[in-house]
Structure 1
Amino acid sequence: MFAKPIPGHTTADVRGDVVVLLIGMRINRFRGVHHWLPVLLAMPRMLRELDKDPERGLLGHVLLTASPRTYYVVQYWESKEKLYAYAKAPDMFHHKAWSIINRKLRAGESRGHVGLWHETYVVPEGSHESIYFDMPAFGLGASHGVVPVEARGRRAADRFAHRRRQAAG
């Protein structure tokens, strides 16, 4: 089922910092399918595992294709600590997948067939902005929820500078 668009202008309702992981692969040699197909199939399995356990900290993700060779995922995390904890957890699929990949790389089996990459960003509160028009919640907005754009500022500069007020206590 497709999500319905939210009428008008909205923006992501982020509280605090934003943790973004870009992770992907590039098929360097299409003929080496037995080298790159397991890598391609590993990411959806990890995402399903994380979707079943929200306490691990993955807030949302978007799967993207940059070219017929290059696939990646934009992931939004609760914190860099939860991202690191998932990456190192011996009971999670990521740990097993990396063990297999590293073993193949050390043996020289997969070198040159598939490229892997990731970039992680911690974006401080007040250092990002978003706007969606007649869109269902998407990306950062799907991960953190959306609010009418006026809640964070009509202009991009206002949304960049937005900092959530601390509750009086």
Structure 2
Amino acid sequence: MAVDVNNQKRITNPLLYPPFLFIFTAMPPLIRELYTNQKELGFLSMESFFGLRTTVMIQYWRSTEDLLAYAKGSNHLKAWKNFNKKVGDNPAVGIYHETFVVKQGNYESVYGNMPQYGLGKAMPHIPISPHRRSAQKRLNPQVK
């Protein structure tokens, strides 16, 4: 599974680049595309966080290959080229991108009194049972 922390943008100086609203309008069509074609694309789920100056989007993908194929697809590529054309090297907007590849079974998410969220929304749930009460037992099933 690939966890793609992408499309993080930060308004570093709003006075240098006032027309930055387009940054926040480019993603909704891509998000609709992801959810509409979820299974075919290998897209599992996502979470978004919006602050006054920073947006963060965390996406969960079935594989790195699926993620890279989508990144090279026409809609994403068009949005990325448009972003670079409008922002370029303008220091008013910063961007960073991180991708983590997680092997199946090498992760853990524990939720208490929470709705499905984050990785727990993207992957199947395994209830905690008495013999899997500690993190050590859940992450190392051979531990008794």
Q: TM-score, normalised by structure 1?
A: 0.73
Q: Give the Cα–Cα distance (whole angstroms) in 1 for the partners of residues 122 and 130 of structure 2.
A: 17
Distance of aligned partners of 1:152 and 1:47 in 2 relative to their CA distance in 1, 3 Å threshold: farther
Query: What value does the CA root-mean-square deviation take over the aligned residues?
Result: 2.2
Q: Which among 73, 78, 87 is matched to residue 57 of structure 2? A: 73
Q: Give the Cα–Cα distance (whole angstroms) in 1 for the partners of residues 141 and 78 of structure 2.
A: 41
Q: Which residue of 2 aligns with 1:159?
A: 138
Q: Give the Cα–Cα distance (whole angstroms) in 2 for the partners of residues 139 and 152 of structure 1.
A: 25
Q: Which residue of 2 aligns with 1:103?
A: 85
Are 1:144 and 2:123 an aligned pair? yes
Partner SS for 1:60: strand
Q: Give the Cα–Cα distance (whole angstroms) in 1 for the partners of residues 123 and 95 of structure 2.
A: 28
Whose RCO is larger (CA < 8 A, sep 6+)? 1
- Give me the identity figure in percent: 37
Partner SS for 2:24: helix
- Equivalent residues, number: 139
Distance of aligned partners of 1:104 and 1:84 in 2 relative to their CA distance in 1, 3 Å threshold: same
Please tell me the residue identity of whatever aligns with 1:42.
Answer: A
Structure 1 unaligned runs (5+)? 1-17, 164-169
Distance of aligned partners of 1:152 and 1:87 in 2 relative to their CA distance in 1, 3 Å threshold: farther
Q: Is the 8 A contact 1:128 1:159 kept in 2?
A: no
The runs of 4+ residues in structure 1 deviating greater than 4 Å are none
Please tell me the residue identity of whatever aligns with 2:2.
Answer: V
Q: TM-score, normalised by structure 2?
A: 0.84
1:131-169 deviation digits (Å, cap 9, x = unpaired): 111211111111113231239932112232359xxxxxx
My pick for the range that moved more, 96-105 or 68-77, is: 96-105
Q: Which among 56, 63, 67 is matched to residue 41 of structure 2? A: 56
